[in-house]
Chains A and B, each alone.
Chain A
Amino acid sequence: GAGVSQSPSNKVTEKGKDVELRCDPISGHTALYWYRQSLGQGLEFLIYFQGNSAPDKSGLPSDRFSAERTGGSVSTLTIQRTQQEDSAVYLCASSYGGSSPLHFGNGTRLTVT
């Protein structure tokens, strides 16, 4: 079946521009996560959605970052006024919740010039 899909796979933007990253989770998955991975580093938690509950935004690094999940399915991560330090791979994962495994997309590589 279809896995987690992220788009675009690569994004190059100029400093100061806004970008939107999209995640299509596996159908039926209620939990959705966004992570950021800088070059050679581990995964940095950004935000977590579970069903209709309020999202856990505790990992968002600044108020330039926001995310929404419409209809309990597709999620968009928006970065306003991008900075060079925002350059990283942004990974999305989804699961059924509980103890079920996370399924990751292949990520969006963001480069801010």
Chain B
Amino acid sequence: DAKTTQPNSMESNEEEPVHLPCNHSTISGTDYIHWYRQLPSQGPEYVIHGLTSNVNNRMASLAIAEDRKSSTLILHRATLRDAAVYYCIRYRDDKIIFGKGTRLHILP
């Protein structure tokens, strides 16, 4: 049980922002929220993570709801190379379960 819910797929136009939602309504106070993405024929790669506050890095931004029951990964300007499956996971120092993720399609 991944305990996170994501849309199966999303589309976005190239060079436009993308907002990928994730629901984690049963998250506990000590669980982090991690995002990974998997490009075709590769292992997943880390994107960003957070606990309570919004986070920014060179790849993306993470907006976490005040009640922590949901979060949104923001790609500020999508490129064709961002086409991948994006996984949102509840992360603790424990076994980590991945859901099915969101397949992001980028339209040129």
- Which A positions have Cβ atoms within 8 angstroms of B? 4, 31, 33, 35, 41-43, 45, 48, 50, 56, 58-59, 91, 93, 97-99, 101-107
Contacts and interface: CB of A to CB of B under 8 A. Distances in A.
A97 B95 CA distance: 11
Shortest Cβ-Cβ A-B pairs, 5 listed: A104-B43, A101-B46, A43-B98, A48-B95, A42-B100
A59 B43 contact: no
A56 B96 CA distance: 11
Nearest to B30: A99
A48 B46 contact: no
Contacts of A33: 95-96
A48 B98 contact: no
B11 to A, nearest CB: 19
Given A33-B96, A45-B96, A101 B49 contact: yes
A99 B101 contact: no
B41 to A, nearest CB: 9
Nearest to B43: A104
Q: Is the interface of A mostly helix, strand, loop or mixed?
A: loop
Contacts of A107: 43
A101 B49 CA distance: 8
A45 B95 contact: yes
A99 B46 contact: no
Interface string B66-104: 000000000000000000010100010111111111000
Nearest to A56: B95
Contacts of A50: 93
Given A99-B49, A102-B36, A43 B94 contact: no
Interface string B37-58: 0000011111001010000000
Contact of A42 (B34, B45, B46, B101): B101
Contacts of A58: 95
B95 A35 contact: no
A100 to B, nearest CB: 9
B99 to A, nearest CB: 6
